Amino acid sequence: MNLRNLSARIVSRVLKEGQSLTAALEQSLGTIESANDKAFVQALCYGVIREFYRLDFLLGQLLNKPIKDDEIKALALIGLYQLEYMRVKAHAAVSETVSAAPRKKPWAKPLLNAIMRNYQRRRDELQSLADNDPVAASNHPQWLIDTIGSNWPEQAGHLLAENNLQAPMTLRVNSARIGRTEYKEQLAAAQLGAIETSEYPSALILERPVPVEQLPGFSEGLVSVQDLAAQLSAELLDLKPNQRVLDVCAAPGGKSAHILEMQANLSGLTAIDIDANRMQKVRDTLRRLRLDAECIVADASQPNDWWDGVPYDRILLDAPCSALGVIRRHPDIKLLRKPGDIAPLQQLQQKILEAVWPLLAPGGLLIYATCSILKEENELQIQRFLNHHQDATEWPIDCNWGMARPQGRQILTGSQAMDGFYYARIRKH
């Protein structure tokens, strides 16, 4: 199996078919036996997608006319990525990329060879040109540069830079099963270094990312992978024994699991998601962690189809959003998200929020969360909701993370090692 050819096909599925990088990799990595080979393919694919706008600019400078063949264009991008960003020796990068071209496309080998050798000769000149092109320099499409700039003019440069970094691998220790200090000792025994964070009692940040199979006790449910920002939701719910909790848009299940780890004596947790495949991931997560919840595949905006009429004491709504706060974790968002996506997502958020509010008991608490940094999905959404509901009052979040907004708190990508996230707490009276 040629790993570069496989990587090119994965990248092509993202660029031309609009498939998510996660899904494209899941489809293909199962065909690779070697852990090192899997890691190499992942590094290539994530790297090319993360650096796509710069690489695409460089490739354009090296061509007289665009490459129409998707697979060969992806191979050319992979070749340039190796030369610029990987420790692969230049001669090996050139020869192996050229040999990855399919035999049935004999024209591709000399083209790839010429592109890569020409880049080696003109590297400094081409990099200087890229540095002066806004899209290539920031590695973002122009609409996203403009959108982030209009939302956060003072922080825009920092946000664009953070989006291009690789996110840290953060763990959530299952405190119902093992203490953080004890688990950290298990990591050390496995030669995995980790950093504690005083604000998050169950969190550890690994010094280097590893496959989950290498984490001690992962399959036994001692630990999960979850960003620091996402770990805040369970704490914000202010959970008490015998409460009834609803987790809306629950997949892939990390927040549901954290709720159950934090409060083992709930009267029940209902997890709802519209996607059956993603709900299976919730079930798999809970099974691994030896936890139990009612899992329902249904449309959260249509509670008459699934609600039993008994009010909930706590509702967590992790609303569908643009996901612009997690680009560093999912760099394909830069390519797959479109400007026209934002307004329909706002309408969907509003629809779900309106639908689940009547399910909350008087005196109950709703947490609204997104992994977005856009004000129209976050503080403006909550402002509109509060203006239209006399029985809703914001319960301000007193903490040392993120920044206070007119409504809720916003975490900007990279702040305190966290993903971009938004939280607001609403009381019903």
Question: Is 250 within any annotated ligand binding site?
Answer: yes
- Any binding-site annotation on 38? no
Look at residues 20, 90, 82, 15 and name the one whose alpha carbon lies nearest to residue 47: 82
Residue 138 structure tokens: 């920031």
Q: How many residues does the chain have?
A: 429
Q: Report DSSP letters for 318-348, one per residue.
A: E-----TT-TTT-TTHHHH--GGGHHHHHHH
421-428 and 409-411 as β-strands: parallel, antiparallel, unpaired?
antiparallel
Contacts of 213 (CB under 8 A, 6+ apart): 219
HSE-CB for 362 with a 13 A CA cutoff: 3
User: What residue spans in the chain does CATH classification 1.10.940.10 cover?
Assistant: 3-137
Name the amino acid, one letter, at 285: T
d(CA 170, CA 413): 15
Query: DSSP per residue over 213-275, as a string?
Result: GGSTTTTTTSEEE--TTTTHHHHHT---TT-EEEEES-TT-HHHHHHHHH-TT-SEEEEEES-
Closest among 37, 49, 51 to 96, alpha carbons compared: 37
130 marked among binding-site residues:
no
1: Cα within 13 Å, side-chain hemisphere: 15
How far is the CA of 76 from the CAs of 14, 72, 90, in angstroms?
15, 6, 14
Is 45 an active-site residue?
Answer: no
| Residue 299 in marked binding region | yes
Cβ-in-10-Å burial (0-12, 13-18, 19+) of 213 comes to exposed
Whether the ω angle into residue 168 lies within 30 degrees of 0, i.e. cis, is no
As to burial, measured by CB atoms within 10 angstroms (0-12 exposed, 13-18 middle, 19+ buried), residue 182 is: exposed
Annotated ligand binding at 146? The verdict is no
Cα separation, 221 vs 296, whole angstroms: 22
Closest C-alpha among 407, 403, 405 to residue 395: 407
Alpha-carbon gap, residue 72 to 78, rounded angstroms: 10
Note the pLDDT tens digit of each residue in 106-117. Answer: 999 999 999 999
**Which CATH number applies to 169-225: 3.40.50.920, 1.10.10.10, 3.40.50.2300, 3.30.70.1170?**
3.30.70.1170
pLDDT at 357: 98
- Residue type, position 280, single letter: Q
Q: Is 133 annotated as a binding residue?
A: no
CATH 3.40.50.150 residue ranges for the chain: 228-428
Please list, residue by residue across 73-94, b when 16 or more beta carbons sit within 10 angstroms of its beta carbon and e when fewer do: bbbbbbbbbbbbbeebeeeebb
Contact (Cβ atoms closer than 8 angstroms) between residue 36 and residue 72: no
Place of tokens 């099963």: 177
In this prediction, residue 312 carries a pLDDT of 98
| Fold exhibited by the domain 3-137 | N-utilizing Substance Protein B Homolog; Chain A (1.10.940)
> What's the Rg (C-alpha) of the chain?
23
Distance of alpha carbon 274 from the chain centroid: 19
Cα–Cα distances in angstroms (integers) from residue 321 to residues 13, 127, 326, 403, in the given order = 23, 34, 11, 20
d(C-alpha 280, C-alpha 253), whole Å: 9
- Which residue type is seen at 216? P
Separation CA 282–CA 280 (nearest Å): 5
pLDDT score of 1 = 82
CATH 3.90.170.10 is right for the domain spanning 228-428: no
Distance CA 28, CA 14 (A): 13
Question: In the prediction, which pLDDT does 197 show?
Answer: 86
Low-confidence ranges of the chain (pLDDT < 70): none
User: What is the reported pLDDT for 198?
Assistant: 80
- Cα gap 361→244, rounded to integer Å: 10
pLDDT score of 199: 79
CATH 3.30.70.1170-classified regions of the chain: 169-225
**Of these residues, 45, 295, 371, 399, which one is catalytic?**
371
Phi, psi of 139 (to 5 degrees): 60, 40
Is 45 marked as a binding-site residue?
A: no
Q: How far apart, in whole angstroms, are the C-alpha atoms of residue 58 and residue 65?
A: 13
255 is in an annotated binding site: yes
